[in-house]
Amino acid sequence: MTGEAVLELRQVTKQYVMGDVTLNALKNVNLVLYRNEYAAFIGPSGSGKTTLMNIVGCLDKPTSGEYILNGTPVAEQDDNALARIRNREIGFVFQNFNLLGRANALHNVMQPLIYRGIPLGERKRMATEALQNVGLGDRLHHLPNQLSGGQRQRVAIARALVGKPSILLADEPTGNLDSSTSRDVMTMFDTLHRAGHTIIIVTHDQNIANHCRRVIRMMDGQILSDTATAGKEENLEVLRRV
């Protein structure tokens, strides 16, 4: 793989101490992710994929090792700096959507822009454009409970993309969706990749990972395999079995 590196992990370890027991959640992980990659972190529960996601997403720090994100040594930053980096560099999409229940779609998508000090009018313009880009231009003023599961996930994707982050990081993005809606959401990720976005999907499901162009398989806190694939952007037959 050649091109511009977005992130690099060098000998990253993560340990959790619980009484007299030390849990090695990550063990000397090395990884480089390039711009416009479409990658999956895949593995069973306890494999280390969620810990890896938390470090890549600047939600946690490694116990040792280096993490370079767009040239910034992230592991050396304090909590305030990490919060700023998350806001500007990482767009999160969660399994449970994490939408504000009393805010409409427009205000949910505007939320990350508040912390950047962007004026209200510009926030509304950017959020409206992001919702239009995910096919929800006619749902701007709907509350989450007025939207289907797929529509709520589209709002979450718009919120993740509105600040133009370096990485779109999706944690089990189809976990709460039926098979038909899952196909629609994964087709959207395929389209976003073709449009130039850098995407990481965290999943336990091989069917979802099959959409990605690179599959990073985790086991016991280590990268078991790192494979480039052709991707399956129209993987409908496989996803019917999700």
- CATH value at residue 161: 3.40.50.300
Is residue 180 domain-resident?
yes
Is residue 87 domain-resident?
yes
Tell me how many degrees the CA angle 75-46-237 measures, rounded to the nearest 5. Answer: 105
Instruction: Supply the range of the domain harboring residue 147.
Output: 35-55+78-239
Decide the pairing of beta strands 222-228 and 214-219: antiparallel
Distance CA 177, CA 16 (A): 32
Instruction: Note the pLDDT tens digit of each residue in 69-128.
Output: 999 999 889 999 999 999 999 999 999 999 999 999 999 999 999 988 899 999 999 999
Contacts of 182 (CB under 8 A, 6+ apart): 174, 208, 239, 242
**If DSSP codes are grouped into helix, strand and coil, which group holds residue 176?**
coil
Is residue 5 domain-resident?
no
pLDDT tens over the chain, length 242 residues: 557 899 999 999 999 998 899 999 999 999 999 999 999 999 999 999 999 999 999 999 999 999 999 999 998 899 999 999 999 999 999 999 999 999 999 999 999 999 888 999 999 999 999 999 999 999 999 999 999 999 999 999 999 999 999 999 999 999 989 999 999 999 999 999 999 999 999 999 999 999 999 999 999 999 999 999 876 544 434 333 33
Q: How many residues does the chain have?
A: 242
Q: What is the count of structural domains for the chain?
A: 1
Cα-flanking dihedrals φ and ψ of residue 194, to 5°? Answer: -60, -30
Is residue 25 domain-resident?
no
pLDDT at 238: 37
